[in-house]
Structure 1
């Protein structure tokens, strides 16, 4: 039964994520992203990572989505105001996505098969083990993610700033 629930939640996450990318209206796109975040939280809970599931709901589906909706309302996007993107912007987007895919494939290729299998299930989902793992083995990606979030906040402020 748990496997069927997982497949349903995974399918819901995939469908809502695809709809989020292809939706014409930005409001529908944000609402679809909320469904995606809740689906991912459901997968975390099914994988016995209750802390991550609750944090996913509180932080992403709660705070971040409220921020996105607020920014969307502040920008007041209309279909007649949207300009068409230049061809070089599409090329840059495709190039960066290709580089990201290449990096992910290279990282996947470097992972050993035995490293994917855990040795024991003791303490799965505990916040103490998560904190130890996060601040000992994954401290560099954690800090890089914080710098990336800071850069996105600064860019959102610069985009939202009105020219005087």
Structure 2
């Protein structure tokens, strides 16, 4: 693994995470969060965890963040409708921020004193190995869950189907 690429992507993750926090526009904040999740996907690929990278890409970037964007656009947020924040809430935010600062300082301190972990098996997080186990040892639970999901989908369609009006 190229260590300089890892640190560059880590810097981008931190940078875009800070942009998520400090952005004034909520839509821009969600877009920065999508870029942050993309940097996490790159981290997973660098760590040879392709399945986690694919799941992160599809589930978080594809589904959840699009849902966040739709919710933000439907809420129509503006300054006039925002309630005033109490001083207790502001104090709690400062205490939480200080706890985060202490945690980051401790992490940076241990970063310089610890050695990186090297995996014993470089094929540990490959999708091919997951597929072999899923379709050999866990074939029955996999098929049962597919039948359960299919029956739930048929049930949802039947519940949503409107009855024709008999006049």
Scaled by the length of structure 2, the TM-score of the pair is 0.60
> Structure 2 CA distance, aligned partners of 1:84 and 1:15?
29
Provide the residue aligned with 1:31 in structure 2: 31
For the Cα contact (< 8 Å) 2:34–2:61, is it kept in 1?
A: yes
Whole-angstrom CA distance in 2 between matches of 1:9 and 1:117: 18
1:123-142 to 2 correspondences below 5 Å: 123-126=123-126
Question: Is residue 11 from structure 1 mapped to residue 29 from structure 2 by the alignment?
Answer: no
Q: 1:100 to 1:12 in 2, by over 3 A?
A: closer
Q: Which residue of 1 aligns with 2:45?
A: 45
Aligned equivalents of 1:66 and 1:119: distance in 2? 35
Unaligned runs of 5+ in 1: 132-164
| Residues in 1 aligned to 2:21 and 2:120: alpha-carbon distance in whole angstroms | 38
CA 1:102–1:6: 2 relative to 1, 3 Å: closer
What is the match of residue 78 of structure 1?
Answer: 78
Q: Tell me the TM-score normalized by structure 1.
A: 0.61
**Root mean square deviation of aligned Cα:** 3.3
Equivalences for residues 138-157 of structure 1 within 5 A: none
- Report the CA distance shift for 1:98/1:11 in structure 2 as closer, same or farther (over 3 A): closer
Shift of 1:92: 2.9
Give the unaligned 5+ runs of structure 2: 134-167
Q: Distance in 2 between matches of 1:70 and 1:29?
A: 13
Residue 56 of structure 1 is matched in structure 2 by: 56
